[in-house]
């Protein structure tokens, strides 16, 4: 049956040109109404907004549930009530300045050192496995869910009295989409009982040597396109989050020890538009200058210079305070103005995002 006007025209035995002209006339009269929600061709561009969350597949207890696990896990999103105060589409989180080009470097603090690479753990995991295999270093344990790789006991020609082994820990980095690799060395006398892994390396020089070898191998590794689906869970929750509770101004939460947090925040507020004017480690306060609003040329003009005016080279004054303190969930980083007053929520979030982008 040909009920609609458009279908009746198509069903009627008329000449092709007449049919085409009639169709164009109907489309011109209806305009965009054919493409709205009540028209013939409904716009489905916003259908994803109506999608619901389906319950996970229930696997019987006597069967293996590993085959139907979450391949693309959706991370938990911290509370972000500050979005209610922003008009329009919120801007995304700032990326690290070295996100496009791969960088590999060794970082260290008193009591620890690690390799930092600006790639996801799921990309770094297969590369480390490949490096160990190519260098004929057998592994006794490789757990992609925890990011732990342990070698078998090794013998070195320069130390025939002891056996040695290494533990590689691969975890999420502080920077977005980055990975940190730390190495623990352990030695024991031959024929002795196998002890538990120590807190720090038995021989720091052997740890440093292995760390340098690994960093050099990663820099020259050509298999950077491989991704491990099993290693997507490495590192667990994020080490850094920007939280915006309704009853407080936004702040950064670092799930690190205090020494690492202080060094990381200090590094961040000395980059780009920030500079450190003074700091008080005991009080956990960094007095910083943010120069985005004062990049004007303050040099005197020609007439003033003719009368002897000179440019005074004065150092920047602190216009913000960044406080690093211990909290219940980790280390909290908050920013205040120079009068030690809280900033507006949107302004605090804007500056915290800049600090977050350069944490290391």
Which tens digit of pLDDT belongs to each residue from 266-276? 999 988 788 89
Residue extents of the structural domains in the chain: 5-42, 104-233, 240-296+313-357
- Pick from 67, 66, 172: which is nearest to 125 by CA? 172
Query: What's the pLDDT band for 9 if we cut at 50, 70, 90?
Result: very low
What b/e sequence results for 87-108 when a residue is b if at least 16 CB atoms lie within 10 Å of its CB, and e otherwise? Answer: eeeeeeeeebeebeeeebeebe
Q: What is the rounded distance in angstroms from the CA atom of residue 352 to the CA atom of residue 354?
A: 5
Least confidently predicted of 113-117, 236-240, 252-256, 310-314:
310-314
- % residues pLDDT > 90 (the chain): 32
CA distances from residue 271 to 212, 280, 344, 353 in whole angstroms, order as listed: 26, 19, 23, 13
* Stronger pLDDT, 142 or 52, i.e. the higher one: 142
> Would you say 246 and 260 are in contact if contact means Cβ atoms under 8 Å apart?
no
Query: What's the pLDDT band for 51 if we cut at 50, 70, 90?
Result: confident
Q: What is the dihedral of CA 40, 44, 49, 53, to 10 degrees?
A: 100
The CA angle 205-211-214, to the nearest 5 degrees, is 145
Contacts of 225 by beta carbon, 8 Å cutoff, 6+ apart: none
74: left (phi > 0), else alpha (psi -120 to 50), else beta?
Answer: beta
Which tens digit of pLDDT belongs to each residue from 12-44? 555 566 666 666 666 566 555 555 556 666 778
* Stronger pLDDT, 43 or 178, i.e. the higher one: 178
- Beta strands across the sheet bearing 331-337: 240-243, 251-254, 331-337, 320-326, 285-290, 274-280
Least confidently predicted of 3-7, 22-26, 100-104, 178-182:
3-7
Phi, psi of 128, rounded to the nearest 5 degrees: -65, -40
3-state secondary structure of 88: coil
CATH architecture under which domain 240-296+313-357 falls: 2-Layer Sandwich (3.30)
* Stronger pLDDT, 92 or 145, i.e. the higher one: 145
Which tens digit of pLDDT belongs to each residue from 306-353? 555 555 556 688 889 999 999 988 999 999 998 889 998 889 999 999
Per-residue H/E/C for 249-261: CCEEEECCCHHHH
Whether residue 79 has pLDDT greater than 70 = no
Whether residue 176 has pLDDT greater than 90 = no
Contacts of 231 by beta carbon, 8 Å cutoff, 6+ apart: 121, 122, 125, 126, 144, 145, 147, 170
What mean pLDDT comes out for the span 170-182? 89
Q: What is the rounded distance in angstroms from the CA atom of residue 286 to the CA atom of residue 247?
A: 24
Whole-number mean pLDDT of the chain? 79
Sign of CA dihedral 59, 63, 68, 74: positive
Pairing of strands 154-156, 159-172: antiparallel
CATH architecture under which domain 104-233 falls: 2-Layer Sandwich (3.30)
């Amino acid at each position: 049956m040909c009920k609609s006007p458009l279908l009746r025209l198509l069903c009627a035995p008329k000449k092709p040109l007449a049919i085409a002209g009639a169709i164009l006339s109907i489309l011109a009269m209806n305009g965009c109404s054919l493409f709205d929600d009540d028209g013939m061709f409904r716009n489905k561009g916003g259908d994803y907004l109506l999608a619901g969350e389906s319950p996970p597949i229930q696997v019987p207890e006597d069967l293996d549930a590993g085959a139907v696990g979450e391949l693309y896990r959706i991370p938990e999103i911290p509370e972000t009530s500050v979005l209610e105060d922003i008009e329009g589409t919120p801007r995304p989180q700032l990326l690290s300045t070295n996100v496009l080009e791969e960088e590999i470097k060794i970082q260290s603090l008193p009591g620890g050192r690690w390799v930092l690479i600006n790639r996801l753990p799921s990309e770094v995991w297969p590369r480390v496995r490949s490096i160990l295999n190519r260098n004929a270093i057998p592994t006794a344990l490789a757990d992609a869910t925890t990011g732990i790789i342990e070698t078998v006991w090794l013998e070195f020609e320069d130390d025939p009295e002891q056996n040695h082994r290494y533990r590689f820990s691969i975890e999420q980095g502080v920077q977005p989409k980055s990975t940190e690799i730390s190495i623990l060395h352990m030695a024991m006398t031959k024929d002795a009982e196998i002890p538990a892994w120590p807190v720090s390396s038995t021989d720091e020089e052997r740890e440093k040597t292995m760390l340098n070898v690994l960093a050099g191998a990663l820099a020259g590794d050509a298999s950077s396109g491989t991704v491990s689906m099993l290693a997507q869970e490495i590192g667990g929750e994020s080490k850094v989050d920007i939280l915006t509770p309704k009853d407080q101004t936004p702040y950064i939460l670092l799930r690190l020890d205090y020494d690492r947090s202080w060094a990381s925040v200090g590094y961040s507020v000395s980059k780009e538009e920030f500079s450190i004017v003074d700091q008080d480690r005991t009080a956990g306060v960094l007095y910083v200058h943010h120069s985005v609003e004062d990049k004007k040329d303050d040099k005197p003009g020609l007439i003033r210079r003719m009368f002897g005016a000179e440019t005074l080279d004065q150092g920047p004054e602190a216009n913000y305070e960044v406080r690093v303190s211990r909290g219940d969930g980790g280390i909290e980083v908050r920013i205040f103005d120079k009068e030690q007053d809280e900033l507006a929520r949107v302004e605090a979030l804007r500056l915290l995002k800049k600090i977050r982008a350069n944490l290391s």
